[in-house]
């Protein structure tokens, strides 16, 4: 049998060090733990992305953005982080970027936490992704309306201003020092000078970006396409002419666009990739190792996809047989729809999500952020005073670096606060969230899109034996379950008949709400084949 899918176990590491005074592990310590995790889980690390002295609140981290851009190239299937808070510190960005990575078949895993995230948090991210579509008249339109009004007025909504601009009275205006550089860049490119030559000249002159780093080709490309330089403020496809100060004349800008279009390469043909929906959540019941996606071609030339025990695949020390991919995914989703999506559980989950939504986006969160901003402003003022009083250039430089870092942290929190204030007036009732949850009841487990929705939101972890499956759900305190925890639960549930009394009953009920054990799974395969044939027949 010929095996394919060479990138299935390729991974990259993302590490971030928030501040010079941070007491957590250094970049080197983070990388060491991530490499140890990769070796333990059978990943091959092909690249490191590292951002130093940047906050997780900002989504403008350069190496982070490079990683997001590289994901669709199909060279890696996982991003390993030291802790999940290295990835992003606010739910908006986390949901956004995890969703983008998932579309490229890439998932985020933690090297030091045996959790996928808090159970309500997982479902909240799924809810934020889905509610924007399901309740577009509320969440999506309310947020966009506020931003649209700001755009019409020319008010800068937030983020790092483009190179050549500065923010003055909440509007983008020309930066006297950097605006001439932008004009020179456009003129050079319009005259036929290459981006590489322009970038080399900028770096030779010592021109730095917002973060004090040399200019890159990607930032140069982005600048050359940015319509703000001709005074157009663009938001969600709406163009506001005169929304900001123009730095470039329109004729030069259009000439540059023609040059960029002429040199654009034809898009490469994307190779079809199979998506293993349970990857990262499915484990071997015998040894606890992750099951990995694999495929092979039979003697008749038919390509088969399956999940294989990582330990058996690498070391041949486990007896676990391979599991057919489509059947396993179908069966887990079919059981979830039957077991979790009951009226009583939908009612319980909706109640928890209402609580979590208020916790994430309610008034108390706004007050916390306002207190953080006040604290940072006091620290900045104290650092400014101390720098003025010092005669030592070395000490003053340290204070200036600290002030710059504090200003960056303050700007990040102010951006999060502005987003939070936009959605603060939007409240979701338990009935609305129940209606969203009920949309999961109407799909067909043979439909891969429906399977993906169910697995992403409801499945916590799955342990597979050759004769039974143990499924954990994202309800009732279900942090991602370790192999030892699963063995303990299995023993407890199998021995529950021997126990009696109200305490034993309560433990049993709590455990049964988050875990399901199914024996003799193979007997359901004829049902799967029948359902799949019917699905193909009716959907074409």
CA-to-CA dists, residue 50 to 7, 28, 54, 354, 474, angstroms: 22, 10, 10, 36, 31
Which residues sit opposite 3 in a β-bridge?
296
Write down the pTM of the prediction: 0.46
Q: What angle do CA 423, 154, 237 make, to 5 degrees?
A: 70
DSSP conformation class of 229: G
Sequential pLDDT tens for the chain (540 residues):
333 344 557 899 998 765 444 434 467 778 888 888 888 888 888 888 887 655 444 445 778 888 888 888 878 888 998 877 667 655 556 666 777 787 787 888 888 765 444 555 555 555 555 544 444 344 444 444 444 555 445 555 555 678 888 877 767 788 898 999 999 999 999 888 888 889 889 888 888 876 677 877 777 888 898 888 888 766 544 555 666 788 999 889 988 888 887 765 444 434 446 788 888 888 898 988 888 888 888 788 888 898 999 888 888 889 898 988 988 898 888 888 887 778 887 888 788 778 777 776 666 677 888 888 888 888 888 888 887 777 787 887 888 878 878 887 787 777 777 766 666 666 677 888 888 788 777 777 778 788 888 888 788 888 988 888 888 887 644 455 566 666 666 666 666 555 555 454 444 444 455 566 665 555 555 554 545 554 444 444
> Helices (H), strands (E): how many in the chain?
19, 16
DSSP conformation class of 136: T
Which residues sit opposite 52 in a β-bridge?
17
Other CB atoms within 10 A of residue 10 CB: 17
Tokens 């077991």, located at residue: 339
CATH number for the domain whose boundaries are 2-113: 3.40.50.1390
CB 413 within 8 Å of CB 383? no
Tokens 């703000």, located at residue: 228
CA-to-CA dists, residue 173 to 164, 166, 410, angstroms: 9, 6, 21
Closest CA to 469 of 312, 327, 313: 327
pLDDT of residue 227: 83
pLDDT of residue 361: 67
CB 233 within 8 Å of CB 240? yes
Per-residue exposure over 51-77, b if at least 16 CB sit within 10 Å of its own CB, e if not: beebbbbbbebbbbbebbebbeeeebb
The contacts of residue 252 (CB under 8 Å, 6+ apart) are 186, 187, 190
SS3 for 69-101 is: HHHHHCCCCEEEECCHHHCCCCHHHHHHHHHHH
SS3 for 243-275 is: CCCCCCCHHHHHHHHHHHHHHCCCCCCCCCCCC
pLDDT of residue 138: 44
CATH number for the domain whose boundaries are 162-263: 3.90.1750.20
* Both tokens assigned to 141: 């339109």
The contacts of residue 434 (CB under 8 Å, 6+ apart) are 346, 347, 350
């Amino acid at each position: 049998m010929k095996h394919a899918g060479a990138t299935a176990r390729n991974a990259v590491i993302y590490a971030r060090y928030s501040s010079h005074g941070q007491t957590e592990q250094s970049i080197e310590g983070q990388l060491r733990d991530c490499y140890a995790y990769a070796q333990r889980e059978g990943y091959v690390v092909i690249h490191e992305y590292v951002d130093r002295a940047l906050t997780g609140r900002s989504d403008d981290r350069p190496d982070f953005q490079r990683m997001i851009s590289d994901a669709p190239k199909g060279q890696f299937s996982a991003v390993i982080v030291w802790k999940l808070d290295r990835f992003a510190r606010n739910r908006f960005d986390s949901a956004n970027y995890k969703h983008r990575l998932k579309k490229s078949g890439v998932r985020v895993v933690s090297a030091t936490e045996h959790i996928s995230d808090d159970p309500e948090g997982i479902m909240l991210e799924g809810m934020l992704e889905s509610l924007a579509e399901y309740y577009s008249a509320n969440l999506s339109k309310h947020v966009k309306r506020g931003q649209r009004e700001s755009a019409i007025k020319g008010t800068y909504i937030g983020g790092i201003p483009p190179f050549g601009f500065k923010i003055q009275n909440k509007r983008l205006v020309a930066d006297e020092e950097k605006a001439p550089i932008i004009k020179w860049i456009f003129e050079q490119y319009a005259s036929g000078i290459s981006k590489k030559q322009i970038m080399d000249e900028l770096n030779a002159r010592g021109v730095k970006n917002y973060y004090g780093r040399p200019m890159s080709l990607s930032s140069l490309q982005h600048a050359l396409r940015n319509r703000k330089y001709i005074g157009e403020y663009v938001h969600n496809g709406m163009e506001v002419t005169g929304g900001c100060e123009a730095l470039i004349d329109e004729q030069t800008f259009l000439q540059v666009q023609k040059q960029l279009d002429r040199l654009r390469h034809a898009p490469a043909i994307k190779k079809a990739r199979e998506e293993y929906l349970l990857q990262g959540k499915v484990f071997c019941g015998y040894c606890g190792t992750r099951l990995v996606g694999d495929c092979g071609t039979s003697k008749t030339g038919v390509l088969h996809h399956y999940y294989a025990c990582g330990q058996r695949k690498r070391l041949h020390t486990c007896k676990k047989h391979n599991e057919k991919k489509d059947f396993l995914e179908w069966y887990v989703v079919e059981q979830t729809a039957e077991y979790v999506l009951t009226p009583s559980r939908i009612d319980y989950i909706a109640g928890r999500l209402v609580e979590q939504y208020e916790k994430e986006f309610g008034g108390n969160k706004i007050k916390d952020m306002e207190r953080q901003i006040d604290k940072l402003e006091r620290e900045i003022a104290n650092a400014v005073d101390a720098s003025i009083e010092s005669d030592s250039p070395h000490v003053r430089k340290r204070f200036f670096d600290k002030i710059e870092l504090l200003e960056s942290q303050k700007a990040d929190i102010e951006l999060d606060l502005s987003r939070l204030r936009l959605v603060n007036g939007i409240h979701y009732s338990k009935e609305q969230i129940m209606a969203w949850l009920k949309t999961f009841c109407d799909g067909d487990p043979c439909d891969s899109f429906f399977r993906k929705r169910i697995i992403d939101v409801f499945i916590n972890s799955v342990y597979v034996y050759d004769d039974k499956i143990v499924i954990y759900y994202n309800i009732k305190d279900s942090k991602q379950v370790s192999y030892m925890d699963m063995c303990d639960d299995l023993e407890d549930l199998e021995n529950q008949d021997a126990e009696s009394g109200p305490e034993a009953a309560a433990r049993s009920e709590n455990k049964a709400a988050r875990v399901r054990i199914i024996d003799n799974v193979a007997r359901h395969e004829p049902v799967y084949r029948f359902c799949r044939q019917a699905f193909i027949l009716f959907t074409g």
